[in-house]
Amino acid sequence: MTRKCIILFTSSLSLCGLTMVTTACPPPDCPDCYYWNGSSCVPCDECYKCVDGDCVACKCWDTGTPIVGSINVQNAKLCEQKTHTSSVSDTDHWFKPGVGEGHPADSLTYSWTASDGTPLSSNAANFAWRAPPCIQEVKITLRVDDVPNSMDDPCPGSTRDDPYVDFQGTSTVSLPDGCSEGSSQAISFASHMLTGEEHCGTSCGRTGPMYPPTITIPLPTYYDCKWIFSVYADGNTPCVVCPHLFTEIEDGNDPDINEDNLCDIYNTFSAASPTCPPYGNSTCIQKHEDAHYIEWLDFLEAEQTAFLGDPSISDMTIDCDDATTTTCQAAASARESAIVTAVYQAWARAVTAWYDTGDTLAIEAAAACFEDLINSICSVWNCGNCMP
């Protein structure tokens, strides 16, 4: 193509009084698929495309426009329902020479995940989430990706597809209100000795009856995604000497001994058993009753040890699908009746075992005391006529 110039005459004063002539030339013809950028011919690029050899303006889309926003992650109690929310957008940008620019928005996809493995597969900006049954820190991740919407008149190579973005937050999963941690299980069967003479019957000494216990079941404690149960059973047991029911004989010099009652006293103490009235010795009777009480405690301790394996007191695994397990209060309520029943049964077994032992061990425990008392009496009195 022939290049044409326009001659312009411009007059001006100069030292020589000459008229200056200048020329203005149009842009040169550029080869096919090139365009004049003001200083040179360059190939169609950036916001131009080649159409029939000419560079034609097109929509030039920015690449890598970021997906922006944030998520709001909620803390929760065990198994509690919470909604994690997000506010995310992806606004694209295009420019077309001679036309202008635009800022359309793309559609988005959402994918929620949690570090504890709980399912979070909802394709939604907000997600209703149930916390796990264990206290922990759960990392919540939301991956947002764009779905590039249609493009009209795009330049070659332009795209609206932006890289996905991961948004993260941490949910602290804690215990329900009023619950506490604790890994130790406590089982206690206790019996308190009642020594007041108001508990006496008609014998010189008395152990029993074993009154039903007062049962205390504290709230279970949390450990390793389970509730740990404890129980305390406290009962009262009379173990008492009743000196108002007998004449105290302390030794052979006791003024209450005489020829008429010598053999009665001798035979009473020879039996090594507090079968009085009318005669007794508080020290020996106490040894007899103490032995009964120790036996009772031994049977009670055996039942306490065995109770560790009772199903009523076993650990309760927290199950978010079972409302009776999700709080310490609900767990206590669910188990209370079974624990109380099991404790009463264990207590009854201990009582039965104690009654079945009879007086043998108690008589043996007091035998030396009664023997010493008889020897003291016989050192002062002639007991020969009382011996069989």
Of the listed ranges 11-15, 64-68, 295-299, the least confidently predicted one is 11-15
Q: Give 174's contacts (C-beta < 8 A, 6+ positions apart).
A: 75, 76, 77, 78, 135
Of 352, 336, 358, 347, nearest to 306 by C-alpha is: 347
Look at residue 338 and tell me whether its pLDDT is greater than 70: yes
Predicted pLDDT of residue 4: 34
Residue 333 φ then ψ, to 5°: -65, -40
CA dihedral 132, 136, 137, 138 (to 10 degrees): -20
Q: Given a cut of 90, is residue 201 above it in pLDDT?
A: no
Token digits for 123? 């394709």
Any bridge partners for residue 221, and if so which?
A: 228
**pLDDT-above-90 percentage for the chain:** 73
CATH code matching the domain that covers 68-174, chosen among 2.60.40.10, 3.60.20.10, 3.30.420.40, 2.20.28.120: 2.60.40.10
CA distance 153 to 235: 91
- The percentage of residues in the chain with a pLDDT greater than 70, rounded to a whole number, is 91
Q: In the chain, where are the structural domains located?
A: 6-57, 68-174, 187-386
Nearest to 32 by CA among 49, 13, 55, 10: 55
Greater pLDDT, 123 or 194: 194
**What's the pTM?**
0.77
Q: Classify the C-alpha dihedral 178-184-185-187 as positive or negative.
A: negative
Q: Are 39 and 28 in contact (CB under 8 A)?
A: no
pLDDT given at position 263:
94
CA dist 259 and 239 (Å) reads 34
Quick one: average pLDDT of 204-218? 96
Distances 44 to 53, 352, 378 between C-alpha atoms, Å: 10, 104, 136
For residue 314, is pLDDT > 80?
Answer: yes
CB 303 within 8 A of CB 189: yes
Please, which pLDDT band fits residue 387 given cuts at 50, 70 and 90?
Answer: confident
Is residue 324 pLDDT above 70, yes or no? Answer: yes
Per mean pLDDT, which range of 26-30, 52-56, 146-150 is the poorest?
A: 26-30
- Burial of 289 per CB tally in 10 Å (0-12, 13-18, 19+): buried
In this predicted model, what pLDDT tens digit does every residue of 106-119 receive, in sequence order? 999 999 999 987 76
Residue ranges of alpha helices (H) inside 44-187 are: none
Nearest to 303 by CA among 207, 191, 385: 191
Which DSSP category does 154 fall into? B
pLDDT classification of 38: cutoffs 50, 70, 90: confident
Report the range of poorest mean pLDDT among 19-23, 40-44, 148-152: 19-23
Please give the residue that has the higher pLDDT: either 328 or 55: 328
Q: What's the confidence (pLDDT) of residue 341?
A: 98
Tokens describing residue 208: 């029993």
Q: Is 8 a residue whose pLDDT tops 60? A: no
**CA–CA separation, 206 vs 209, rounded Å?**
9
Half-sphere exposure of 266 (CA within 13 A, CB side): 20
Task: Indicate the pLDDT class of residue 255, thresholds 50, 70 and 90.
Answer: very high
Q: Examine the pLDDT at 318 and tell me if it is beyond 80.
A: yes
Give which of 140, 165, 167 is closest to 83, Cα–Cα: 140
What pLDDT sits at residue 273?
67
Burial bucket for residue 372 (CB in 10 Å: 0-12, 13-18, 19+): middle
User: In whole angstroms, what is the distance from residue 295 CA to residue 206 CA?
Assistant: 14
pLDDT in tens, 145-170: 999 888 888 998 888 888 999 999 99
Strands, sheet with 68-72, edge to edge from the N-terminal-most edge strand? 68-72, 81-89, 127-130
> How far is the CA of 47 from the CAs of 17, 43, 195, in angstroms?
50, 11, 105
Name the residue among 356, 312, 349 with its Cα closest to residue 334: 312
Strands 60-61 and 94-96, sheet pairing: antiparallel
> Rounded mean pLDDT of 170-184?
97
Instruction: For the chain, give the mean pLDDT.
Output: 89
What is the per-residue pLDDT for 19? 42
